[in-house]
Amino acid sequence: MRNVFILHSSMKYSEVNKVETYEGFCVKCRKKVTIKDAKVVTLKNNRKAVKGVCPHCGTTVYRFLGKA
């Protein structure tokens, strides 16, 4: 007996959480954290970064964005 499963490439599961999350490196926790209250900011040198706080210790965490 054979069971054949056909997987459709169009199959999608809906994402419940659509809030954009960014990960950054917290220097205090010394690990990657999910940035809380993340905001995209533009720096003086015209580069963009995400600024927020570490959910564990409250330290300001920056995450530089590669593409402008």
Binding residues vs Zn ion (CB under 5 A): 26, 28-29, 54, 56-57, 59
| C-beta of 8 vs 30, nearer to Zn ion | 30
Q: Within 13 Å, how many C-alpha atoms sit on residue 57's CB side?
A: 12
Q: Measured from the CB atom, is 39 or 42 closer to Zn ion?
A: 39
Q: Cα separations (Å) of 7 from 11, 12, 60? A: 8, 11, 44
Beta bridge partners of 51: 39, 62
Q: How far is the CB of 26 from Zn ion (least distance, A)?
A: 3
Q: Which is nearer to Zn ion, 28 or 47 (CB)?
A: 28
